[in-house]
Amino acid sequence: MRQKIENLKALVNSFQAKTADEVEALRIKYLSKKGEISLLFDEFRNVPNEEKREIGQLLNTLRQIATDRINSLRESLTAGSDCVEKQDLTRSAEPFELGARHPLSIVKNEIIDIFSRLGFTIAYGPEIEDDWHVFSALNFPPEHPARDMQDTFFIEKQPDILLRTHTSSVQTRVMKSQQPPIRVLCPGRVYRNEAISYRAHCFFHQVEGLYIDKDVSFADLKQALLYFAQEIFGEHTKIRLRPSYFPFTEPSAEMDISCNICGGEGCPFCKHTGWVEILGCGMVDPNVLEACGIDSKVYSGYAFGMGIERITNLKYQIKDLRLFSENDVRFLKQFT
């Protein structure tokens, strides 16, 4: 009896299995009611009384060893199958590197966040537009020379359909669809037929803002833009407004900020003036309000617009506009 137990014990310790079916076959052969270990328990009744204590302990130990071995084989196979199931066989063998947000997206989101604190909501519109929303509604008469200020991509054989030259077209859509108070921010891509160089591109990105309500003044515009400049460039930033001309605003102005590189003392970047232009702005022309169905005698408003590339250049001192659209990983990694 002892020899049988020792032989089975050695056999149990050598158990091997490659599949779950093989593990189950071992369990049935040795641990089932008619298994070999169970048959030894049947023989136990014939063991002399003086040996039953010792033999009983050996049998219990054998059954426990067999149970543990079979459970161990089953767990190892289950763990292996889970590992295989979790493997993505379409995944590249090369490790993936995490990307970074594009600098234009970083700055756009920052601009949106700043103006959202002032109550501005976001509005979007189509990039392929009609002449009315891009020009006519914004006080550009058909033969007005101001149309020549923006070289436009027109859709072939459809002279009234074009790629928008500014996101002001979104403002006209908003004004046509809702009555004041209106306070919207319009980010998006725009297109102009310009030669590509380090300082110009045929497409770029803008953020324009519009606020229309009763008793809106130029002072409101100045305060909003001062808040924006100090939030994005630092609390010591100063602004100045210079008279300018835009067909859709009157009066109109261009806004400069104190150079954030030299602190306004003068450097090559600001051409030793201490000031850098960042946006255009003004009070919405009454003709624009009337064209969009808003009573200009009751409501007034201001508008402003800036190039996201321009703001990004100032924040990160990027000197070549082409870098923004070339997808050079070496450039983009700097913004991780």
Is residue 232 within 8 A of residue 114, CB to CB? The reply is yes
Instruction: Give 12 or 324, the one with higher predicted confidence.
Output: 324
pLDDT > 90? residue 120: yes
Widest pairwise Cα distance in the chain = 122
Q: Are residues 311 and 205 part of one domain? A: yes
Question: Stretch 53-77: mean pLDDT, rounded?
Answer: 82
**What is the structure's pLDDT at 114?**
95
Q: Are residues 57 and 178 part of one domain? A: no
Q: Residue 35 burial by CB count (10 A; 0-12/13-18/19+): exposed, middle or buried?
A: middle
**What is the structure's pLDDT at 100?**
79
Q: Which domain holds residue 56?
A: 2-86
Q: Are residues 43 and 120 part of one domain? A: no
Q: Are residues 230 and 266 part of one domain? A: yes
Is residue 73 within 8 A of residue 31, CB to CB? The reply is no
Q: Are residues 148 and 277 part of one domain? A: yes
220 within some domain: yes
Is residue 132 within 8 A of residue 141, CB to CB? The reply is no
What is the tally of structural domains in the chain? 2
Is residue 177 within 8 A of residue 169, CB to CB? The reply is no
**What is the structure's pLDDT at 36?**
82
Taking the mean position of all CA atoms in its chain, how far away is CA 273?
Answer: 37
**What is the structure's pLDDT at 146?**
58
98 within some domain: no
Q: Are residues 134 and 57 part of one domain? A: no
The pLDDT-based confidence of 77 (bands split at 50, 70, 90) is: confident
96 within some domain: no
Instruction: Name which of 90-99, 186-195, 315-324 the model is least confident about.
Output: 90-99
**What is the structure's pLDDT at 305?**
95
Distance CA 125, CA 162 (A): 14
**What is the structure's pLDDT at 92?**
74
Strands 154-155 and 128-130: unpaired
**What is the structure's pLDDT at 85?**
56
List, for residues 221-230, the tens digit of each pLDDT value: 999 999 999 9
List, for residues 242-292, the tens digit of each pLDDT value: 999 999 999 999 999 998 777 777 777 778 888 989 999 999 999 999 999
Question: Stretch 51-71: mean pLDDT, rounded?
Answer: 81
**What is the structure's pLDDT at 63?**
82
**What is the structure's pLDDT at 84?**
52
**What is the structure's pLDDT at 216?**
95
Distances (CA, A) of 251 to 116, 181, 243, 271, 300: 25, 21, 8, 27, 12
Question: Stretch 187-200: mean pLDDT, rounded?
Answer: 87
95 within some domain: no
Question: What is the average pLDDT score of the chain?
Answer: 86
pLDDT > 80? residue 126: yes
Amino acid at 227: Y
Long-range contacts of 115-118 (CB under 8 A, 24+ apart): 115/185, 115/209, 115/224, 115/228, 116/185, 118/183, 118/224, 118/227
The pLDDT-based confidence of 215 (bands split at 50, 70, 90) is: very high
Q: Are residues 271 and 135 part of one domain? A: yes
93 within some domain: no
97 within some domain: no
State the Rg of the chain over Cα: 39
Distance CA 225, CA 255 (A): 9
Q: Are residues 151 and 269 part of one domain? A: yes
CA dihedral (229, 233, 238, 244) in degrees, to 10, reads -50
Q: Are residues 175 and 74 part of one domain? A: no
Q: Are residues 142 and 231 part of one domain? A: yes
pLDDT > 60? residue 79: yes
23 within some domain: yes
Question: Stretch 16-27: mean pLDDT, rounded?
Answer: 83
Q: Which tokens hold the place of 44?
A: 């136990």
Instruction: Name which of 110-114, 149-153, 157-161, 185-189 the model is least confident about.
Output: 149-153
DSSP letters along 246-261, please? ETTEEEEEEEEEE-TT
**What is the structure's pLDDT at 220?**
96
20 within some domain: yes
Question: Stretch 96-122: mean pLDDT, rounded?
Answer: 90
The pLDDT-based confidence of 174 (bands split at 50, 70, 90) is: very high
